[in-house]
Structures are given as C-alpha cells and as structure tokens.
A = this chain, B = another copy of it.
Amino acid sequence: MSYRILLVDDEPDILEILGYNLKKEGYEVFMAEDGLQAIVQAKKHKPHLIVMDVMMPNMDGIEACIKIRETPELSKTIITFLSARSEDYSQISGLNAGADDYLTKPVRPRVLLSKVKSLLRRLEDISTEKPQVFKDITIDPNKYKVLKGGVEIKFAKKEFKLLQLLFSNIGKVFTRDEIMNTIWGTDVFVGDRTIDVHIRKLREKLGNNVIETIKGVGYRLSE
C-alpha cells in the first residue's frame, strides 16, 4: 500500500510542482487550496501526512491543524507546515497547534521528498501498536479494523475502544471503573447500563464465548 499525502497551499503552481514530484515517487497525492478544503479532504482520504501552508485564505493552516487534530480518526496523521523563512512566530504556534514539523519556503522538491520520507518512516515506528490476536479475532488499532475468521467486522467508535481495551491485556479483568475511565474519562457521567449495552454489541458481533462477565468485578476476554 502506498502512503497518502495531502498537499495544502493556496498557490496552484506550488501544488502542481510538489504534487508532481511526490506522485513520481509513488505517493498518492491529494490537494486542497485552503484550510476548509484541507479538512474535507483529510476526512475523506485519511492521509498519512499533510503538508500545509500556514498562510491561506478562508482558514489558515494553524486553525485547520487544530480542527484536524480534534478528529479522532486522524489523530495519527502527521502534519507539517510550510512557512516563509522569517515567520518564526508561526513555527512556534504551529507546533503548539499539534504540528509535527515544518519546512521553510521556498521548498525544494528534493528537500521535501527527503523530509517526507523521514516523516513517514517515523509513522512506521510509531504505529507500533501491533495487531492483537485472540482466538480467531484480530484487532488492528492502526487500521481501525477487526477481523473474525478472516472476515472484517465493523465496530462503532466506542465499541472499538472497548474492544481495544479488553485486547490490551488479554485475559485481564477490567472493572467497570477502569472501563469507565478509559472509554468515557473521569468527568463524564453515563449510566450503569451503558457499559452492558456496549458489551452486548460486542457479543452480538463476536459471539458469546469471547467476553466473559465476572459478576461484581468486571469483564475479560475468556480463554
């Protein structure tokens, strides 16, 4: 599979030049001309890497970056800013906004390529949350994917998180409190039955012999 890269800049010339070079290297390239488009494209294509200008009409790069960072499914996306050499300010606030790196304009295609390469290598290192296997079930946190007997089963966000928690320590009993704190956080109040309902959903999809109830204690993957 090739990596997906989203280029964001308000100058079509730059998009074209950089895009051409990235495509030539085998990357899948998407483009956007402002922050708003960037967000739409990001959600649509789930790029591994976003290279984004800071100064843009409609919505600047910083703001777009913050919005993107708020999207859970894009949390692993690497964001790199392009900024004019002198705008040191933007570098700092860009990093504050959750960017991983920045490049100074004007960008040499050759420089961009080597940067892109090293950033994507980093992604490989980080996405080291290895797929977990239990019985005939495989859960891959990176791809947000669950296979049972080789067949993909779809899970909603909360369901997936819950499943991920149970898989994070196979066999361990997770108390309702632990589950609560992990999935909902400490300052959210949801009723007691909510957890059961989610457990039920998981059982519905995975079968009844996977998640075991320990009454008065919690739940675990049953070996």
A residues near B, CB below 8 A?
Answer: 13, 16-17, 20-21, 24, 78, 92, 95-96, 98, 100-101, 108-111, 114, 122, 125-126, 128, 142-145, 152, 156-157, 160, 169, 171-173, 214-218, 220, 223
Contact = CB atoms under 8 A, between A and B. Distances in A.
B172 A215 contact: no
A143 B222 CA distance: 9
A128 B144 contact: no
B122 A95 contact: no
Contacts of A122: 108, 110-111
Copies in the complex: 2
Contacts of A216: 156-157
Given A143-B220, A171-B143, A220-B144, A156 B111 contact: no
Contacts of A92: 13, 17
Given A143-B171, A157-B214, 17 more contacts: A16-B96, A17-B92, A17-B95, A20-B96, A78-B110, A100-B109, A108-B122, A110-B126, A111-B122, A111-B125, A114-B128, A142-B172, A143-B173, A152-B223, A156-B215, A157-B215, A160-B217
